[in-house]
Amino acid sequence: MLIAFTPALLLAADADPGGAMLYGRGKEPVLLNGKPLPRSSAVFPGDLIQTPSESVATLDALGSGIVVYPDSELKFEQNSVSLQHGSVSIGTSKRMVATARQVTVTPASDAWTEFEVADINGSIRVVDSNGSVEVNCRKGNLSLSEGDEAISDAAGNCTKKKHKDGPVFPVISPLSGPVVVVGALGTFGGIICMLLCDNPQSFMSPWKP
């Protein structure tokens, strides 16, 4: 999967390393800690993000970018995210960690890494789109490289296979507004470009300690 971010995402040296900027777009407002997100907001460790069925959210953290897909719930933590349910894509050069129930996904290095995690229909799925990740399940560990997929069942067993062409996540209806989704979720998650084109604010958290 290819996620296109602005250069500020990678070069945001002044941004707080513990926080991020949250942007939402869709037919219904994204919820931040249970309250509708008007347009964007700074988020910090412990904040809970929920996306309705026809909305998406993007998170811009220092060296990392996150796409939260519809019908998902995500808790933002210090250089990590916890997926409560639904699906998320992460691009990171800061080894951002993702957890989903008993599964923990950790980039293998500081090189730019892209991966997707989905908690859908009783199983956890992890797809490596770029770079390498380590997947820790309750009953074992797996190393994934580009094009690999790991599936964990409710008992904590993980299996590894090559990801086949096709959507990783459920098909969603087109979204209105300046969020642009290019292509279908196909090979390794497809090509997704999330651009908040008409937002005059730069893609970095303005908060400073």
Cβ atoms of 131 and 95 within 8 Å: the answer is no
Residue 186 lies in a domain: yes
More confident residue, 207 or 99: 99
Neighbours of 35 (CB within 10 A): 9
Domain membership of residue 199 (yes or no) is no
In a domain, 155, yes or no: yes
* Model confidence, pTM: 0.76
Establish if 11 belongs to a structural domain.
yes
Determine the average pLDDT of the residues in 42-58. Answer: 96
Helices (H), the chain: 7-11
In a domain, 50, yes or no: yes
- CA dist 9 to 24, 56, 104, Å? 17, 18, 24
162: left (phi over 0), alpha (psi -120 to 50) or beta: beta
Containing structural domain, residue 61: 2-192
Q: Which residue has the tokens 């080894």?
A: 95
For residue 17, name the pLDDT band (cuts at 50, 70, 90): low
Residue 84 lies in a domain: yes
Here the CATH number for the domain that contains residue 137 is 2.60.120.1440
Note whether residue 165 is domain-resident.
yes
Phi, psi of 189 (to 5 degrees): 95, -5
If one counts the domains in the chain, the total is 1
3-state secondary structure of 189: helix
List, for residues 160-208, the tens digit of each pLDDT value: 988 876 555 554 443 333 333 332 233 223 323 333 333 333 332 333 2
* Residue at 198 is within a domain: no
Which contiguous run of DSSP H or E holds residue 134? strand 133-137
